[in-house]
Amino acid sequence: MSKDFNPTNPSWINRDRFVLSAGHGSMLLYSLLYLTGYKSVSLNDIKNFRQLDSICAGHPEYHPGTGIETTTGPLGQGISNAVGFAISEEILKKQIGKKIIDHKTYVIAGDGCLMEGISHEALSLAGHLKLKNLILLFDNNSISIDGPTNLTVSDNHEKRFKSYGWDYIKINGHNYKEISKALKKAQKSKKPIAISCKTTIGYGSPNKGGKASSHGSPLGDDEIKLVRKKLNWSYNPFEIPKKLLNEWKSIGDRASKKAKKYEKIFSKKLKKNFPPGYNLARNTIIGSIEKAKTEYFKNLEPMATRKCSEKFLEIVSKLPNIIGGSADLAGSNNTKTKNHKIVKPGDFSGNYIHYGVREHAMCGIMNGISLHSGLIPYGGTFLIFSDYCKPSIRLAAMMKQKVIYVFTHDSIGLGEDGPTHQPIEQLASLRSIPNLNVFRPSDLIETFECWQLALESKNTPSVIALTRQAIKPVRIKSSTKNMSSLGAYEIFRTNDDIKVTIIATGSETSLASEVGHKLATDGIYSKIISMPCHELFDQQSEGYKNEILSETNLIVSIEASETSYWKKYTNHNGLNFGIDDFGKSAPYKKIYQHFGINTENIIKKIKDKL
C-alpha cells in the first residue's frame, strides 16, 4: 500500500516522514524530490545548489510543504528528530485511530551521526519505548572526513543497536533488491530497526571512491570523465533522458493517486477527530486560568515560579495536544502534574515523557515532535543544563518550531548545589539566539502570562526560566491585559517626578520593588520595571521603548545573572547588579549578600551614582 508520500500535497498529515540526519547528502533529497514531481524543487533550483536563496541550500534544515521534513547540519540531530517524529505518530495514532494516522519514519544516518553522543541518547530511548514505526538506514561506508572510521571507532554497531532494543539487519547498500527486501522486512518489524547499508563513498569514481577525499571536495573534470565511463553515463550535465524522467515521474504519480484516495476518505474523519490545538481550546481553559489567578490574589503568598508553572500546567495538561516531559527532573522542574499520564514502552496513550537523563536528545526529540505537526512539546531541566540542549534549541529557533523549554533553578537562588549548578551566562547566551523568546517571570501572574505567550506563539520557541525558591508576588492587582506581552512594563512608581528607572526580572523584581520603596523614604523617587522578556520588549514601538527607557538619566538593572546583556538598556553610565563570576555554594540568601544583590548595597550604589 503506497500512501507513503504525495508530491502534489507534500504536507499530508499521514505521509511517511523522511529525515536526512546526514544532511551533507542533501542533493540525494533534492534530486528525488525533483524526479518524483515535487513542485518545490526544479532543475534550475538544483543548478543553484548552495546559492543565495535557492531552496537547495547546503543543509536545508526545514521547508514546510516542500517534502523537506528536516535535514540536519549538526550530525546526529536527525536521529533524535526522527525519534520525535515516531513518538508523535504513535501518540496521534492512539488519540485519533490508526485508520487515520499510521505511517513510518525513515532516517538516513552516517558514521558521523552514530559517533555523536546524541545518537546514543536518542537510540536508547527509542529502543526503550519500542518505537516500531522507526526505520534507520545506516550509510555504513566506514569513512568520515579525517579518513577511515577505524581511526576513531571500534564499536560493534550491531551489538550496540541490539543492546538498545533495536533490530539490526545488514545489506549491500548498492544492491537494489537487497534494499527493497530489507525495507519490506523493516516495515513489519516489532521494534525500531536499523538497516546497515554497506556502501562505498564516491561510488563509481575509480580514484576517489572509498576515500575520505570524496566527502567534501569536487571530483574534478578528469575524474568525472572516468566516473561517466565507469557508470556508462553519456548524457550532458543536468540532462535527464526522457524515458528515465518519465519512469521517476510515474512513481510520483502513482504515489499521489493512492495518497489522494486516502486523503479523500480520511480528511473528514481527520477534521472530526484531530485533537484541538491550544488556540482552539483556549476558550475552554481560560475559565480555569482566571479561577487560578483569583485564588492567588486572595492570598498573595510567596511562591516559587516553578510551582506557579505547575499550576498552569495542571490546567493545560487536560489538552491532548500538549506533550510534557523532563530529563529526569520532573519533581524539580514541576513539569509533571496530577493530570499527566506517562508514555510507556509500547503504550502511547499518555501525554508525559520521561526522557531520562538525556537533555540533548530530549530537545532534539521535541523538535521532531513539533515538526511532525499536531502536538506541542515542552520539556524541563535545570537552566544550567540548557548548555546540553543548546544545539537543538538553536535548530528549533531556525526552523521556527513551537517548542517550550521549562528551565528551573534559574539562578544562585538554588543555593547549596553551588557553582556547577548555578546558571550565570546561560540567560545571556539564550537571549543571543535569534528567534527565541526567553521568559523570566516574576510571580504567578507573569508565569501564566508567559506560558500563554509561549503556547500562542506561531513561529518562535520559548524558554521559560523559573525559580526554585519562593518569591514575593509583584503583580498584586488583576488586569485583563497580558502585560508580559509587552516584554517590559511599569509595575509602579513612587512619585511623578522620578530620578531612577529600576529594571528587573524574575526573582529580582520583588527586590527591585523593595529598593524603590526604601529609596522613596529618602526622597529618591523611581519607577520599577518588570522585564519578563527582552525579545518581546525589543519588538515594541520606539515610542513605547522610550517611555520605559528614556525618562531618567539613571537606569539600573537587577538580575542574578551575567550582566553584559543589560548594558544595551542601561547604557555605559547605568548600574548593573548581577554576577560576573561563577556562583557559590551556600544558603541562597548568603550568596545574594556575597554578590551584593541586596537592598542595602543597591541603594548605596544608586545614592553614590546620583
* Closest CA relative to residue 206, chosen from 221, 227, 220, 225: 227
Residue with cell string 532494543: 165
CB of 133 to ligand TPP, least distance (A): 24
Query: Under a CB-based contact definition with an 8 Å cutoff, are residues 195 and 186 in contact?
Result: yes
DSSP one-letter code for 20: E
CB of 204 to ligand TPP, least distance (A): 15
Please report the sign of the dihedral spanned by the C-alpha atoms of residue 75, residue 76, residue 82, residue 87.
negative
Q: Is 326 in the site for ligand TPP (CB under 6 A)?
A: no
DSSP one-letter code for 219: -
CB of 198 to Mg ion, least distance (A): 11
Q: Is 73 in the site for ligand TPP (CB under 6 A)?
A: yes
Name the residue nearer to ligand TPP (CB basis): 61 or 139. Answer: 139
Q: Which does 277 bind (CB under 5 to 8 A by kind): ligand TPP, Mg ion, none?
A: none
Query: Under a CB-based contact definition with an 8 Å cutoff, are residues 194 and 166 in contact?
Result: yes
How far is it, in rounded angstroms, from Cα 61 to Cα 71? 5
In the list 201, 259, 329, 369, the residue contacting ligand TPP (rule: CB under 6 A) is 201
DSSP one-letter code for 142: S
* Closest CA relative to residue 18, chosen from 84, 76, 87, 68: 68
Q: Which does 73 bind (CB under 5 to 8 A by kind): Mg ion, ligand TPP, none?
A: ligand TPP
How far is it, in rounded angstroms, from Cα 547 to Cα 501? 11
In the list 29, 68, 75, 397, the residue contacting ligand TPP (rule: CB under 6 A) is 75
Q: Is 111 in the site for ligand TPP (CB under 6 A)?
A: yes
How far is it, in rounded angstroms, from Cα 445 to Cα 309? 10
- Count of residues interacting with ligand TPP (CB under 6 A): 17
Q: Which does 527 bind (CB under 5 to 8 A by kind): Mg ion, ligand TPP, none?
A: none
Pairing state between β 143-144 and 147-148: antiparallel
Which residues, including other chains, have CB under 8 Å from residue 176's CB and lie 6 or more apart?
none
How far is it, in rounded angstroms, from Cα 409 to Cα 422? 8
CB of 142 to ligand TPP, least distance (A): 8
CB of 144 to Mg ion, least distance (A): 5
Which residues, including other chains, have CB under 8 Å from residue 411's CB and lie 6 or more apart?
383, 422, 423, 467, 506, 507, 560, 561
In the list 141, 199, 370, 561, the residue contacting Mg ion (rule: CB under 5 A) is 141
Which residues, including other chains, have CB under 8 Å from residue 245's CB and lie 6 or more apart?
35
How far is it, in rounded angstroms, from Cα 371 to Cα 376? 10
Q: Is 107 in the site for ligand TPP (CB under 6 A)?
A: no
Q: Which three cell numbers stand for residue 92?
A: 496521534
CB of 71 to Mg ion, least distance (A): 16
Q: Is 143 in the site for ligand TPP (CB under 6 A)?
A: yes
Q: Which does 310 bind (CB under 5 to 8 A by kind): ligand TPP, Mg ion, none?
A: none
Q: Is 143 in the site for Mg ion (CB under 5 A)?
A: yes
Q: Which does 24 bind (CB under 5 to 8 A by kind): ligand TPP, Mg ion, none?
A: ligand TPP
Q: Which does 366 bind (CB under 5 to 8 A by kind): Mg ion, ligand TPP, none?
A: none
Count of H-run helices and E-run strands, the chain: 22, 19
How far is it, in rounded angstroms, from Cα 284 to Cα 275? 14
- Residue 488, CB half-sphere, CA atoms under 13 Å: how many? 25
Q: Is 145 in the site for ligand TPP (CB under 6 A)?
A: yes
Q: Which does 22 bind (CB under 5 to 8 A by kind): Mg ion, ligand TPP, none?
A: ligand TPP
Q: Which one of 37-45, 136-144, 330-338, 589-597 is the stretch in contact with ligand TPP (CB under 6 A)?
A: 136-144
DSSP string, 42-60: -HHHHHTTTSTT-SS-SS-
CB of 394 to ligand TPP, least distance (A): 12
In the list 110, 127, 252, 423, the residue contacting Mg ion (rule: CB under 5 A) is 110
Vertex 54: Cα angle to 42 and 437 (nearest 5) = 130
Q: Is 423 in the site for ligand TPP (CB under 6 A)?
A: no
Residue closest to Mg ion (Cβ) = 111
Name the residue nearer to Mg ion (CB basis): 143 or 313. Answer: 143
Q: Which one of 112-120, 252-260, 454-462, 550-558 is the stretch in contact with ligand TPP (CB under 6 A)?
A: 112-120
Name the residue nearer to ligand TPP (CB basis): 116 or 167. Answer: 116
Q: Is 171 in the site for Mg ion (CB under 5 A)?
A: no
Q: Is 446 in the site for Mg ion (CB under 5 A)?
A: no
Q: Which three cell numbers stand for residue 136?
A: 534507520
Percent of the chain that is helix, strand, coil (3-state, to 5): 45, 15, 40
Q: Is 141 in the site for ligand TPP (CB under 6 A)?
A: yes
In the list 89, 111, 508, 535, the residue contacting Mg ion (rule: CB under 5 A) is 111
CB of 145 to ligand TPP, least distance (A): 4
Q: Is 471 in the site for ligand TPP (CB under 6 A)?
A: no
Name the residue nearer to ligand TPP (CB basis): 110 or 368. Answer: 110
Amino acid (1-letter code) at residue 354: H
Using CB atoms within 10 Å of the CB of residue 417, give its burial: 0 to 12 exposed, 13 to 18 middle, 19+ buried: middle
The alpha-helical segments, DSSP class H, found in 12-148 are 26-35, 43-47, 77-96, 111-115, 117-129
Q: Is 394 in the site for ligand TPP (CB under 6 A)?
A: no
Q: Which one of 28-36, 111-119, 186-194, 258-266 is the stretch in contact with ligand TPP (CB under 6 A)?
A: 111-119
Reply yes or no on whether 359 is catalytic: yes
Which residue in 116, 359, 449, 562 is the catalytic one?
359
Q: Which residues bind Mg ion (CB under 5 A)?
A: 110-111, 141, 143
- As annotated, the active-site residues are 359
Q: Which residues bind ligand TPP (CB under 6 A)?
A: 22, 24, 73-75, 110-113, 116, 139, 141, 143-145, 201, 215
